Structure 1
Amino acid sequence: MARAAVPGGLTWQPATVAATRAETATARTLVLDVDGWTGHVPGQHVDVRLTAPDGYMAHRSYSISSAPGPDRLEVTVQAVIDGEVSPHLVEVAEPGDHLEIRGPLGGWFVRRPSDPRPALLIGGGSGVAPLMSMVRAATNPTRLLYSTRSPSDALFKADLATAQATGNTPVAVTHVYTRVAPHGWPAPPRRLDADILARVAWPRDADVVAFVCGPTGFVETVADLLVEIGHNPANIRTERFGPTGG
Structure 2
Amino acid sequence: MSGPAPADAPPAKAHRRAGWHTATVTDSRPETPTARRIAFEVPTWPGNDAGSHLDVRLTAPDGYQATRSYSIASSGEGTRVLLAVDELPDGEVSPFLVHDLREGDQVEMHGPLGAYFVWTPPPAGEPSRPVQLIAGGSGVVPLFAMARAHAEAHDATEFRLLYSARTPQDVFFRAELEQLTAAAPALWLDFVYTRQVPEGWPTGPGRITREVLDAATLPAASDPLVFVCGPTPFVETVAGWLVDSGHRPGSVRTERFGGS
Q: Same fold, TM exceeding 0.5? A: yes
For residue 30 of structure 1, what is the aligned residue in structure 2?
38
Identical aligned pairs, as a percentage?
48
C-alpha distance after superposition, 1:114-166 (max 9, x if no partner)? 382211000001111111111110132211000011112211111122234x2
CA distance in 1 between partners of 2:185 and 2:220 (Å):
24
**Aligned-pair CA distance for 1:234:** 1.7
**Aligned-pair CA distance for 1:182:** 0.9
C-alpha distance after superposition, 1:22-80 (max 9, x if no partner)? 11111111111111212111111000112223333222111001132311111111111
- Equivalent position SS for 1:144: strand
Instruction: Tell me, yes or no, if structure 1 residue 63 matches structure 2 residue 71.
Output: yes
**Aligned-pair CA distance for 1:10:** 4.9
C-alpha distance after superposition, 1:69-101 (max 9, x if no partner)? 311111111111132211111111111111110
CA distance in 1 between partners of 2:215 and 2:91 (Å):
38
For residue 223 of structure 1, what is the aligned residue in structure 2?
239
For residue 253 of structure 2, what is the aligned residue in structure 1?
237
TM-score where L is the length of structure 1: 0.90
Match of 1:41 among 35, 39, 49: 49
TM-score where L is the length of structure 2: 0.85
Corresponding letter in the other structure for 1:175: F
- Equivalent position SS for 1:12: strand
Corresponding letter in the other structure for 1:236: V
- Equivalent position SS for 1:161: helix
- Equivalent position SS for 2:220: coil
For residue 118 of structure 1, what is the aligned residue in structure 2?
130
Match of 1:186 among 180, 202, 209: 202
Instruction: Tell me, yes or no, if structure 1 residue 101 matches structure 2 residue 118.
Output: no
CA distance in 2 between partners of 1:150 and 1:48 (Å):
28
For residue 9 of structure 2, what is the aligned residue in structure 1?
none
| Count of paired positions | 237
Any stretches of 5+ residues in structure 2 without a counterpart?
A: 3-16
Map of 1:65-214 to 2, 5 A cutoff? 65-114=73-122, 116-138=128-150, 139=155, 140-164=157-181, 166-168=182-184, 170-214=186-230
CA distance in 1 between partners of 2:237 and 2:95 (Å):
29
Q: Is the 8 A contact 2:19 2:112 kept in 1?
A: no
Any stretches of 5+ residues in structure 1 without a counterpart?
A: none
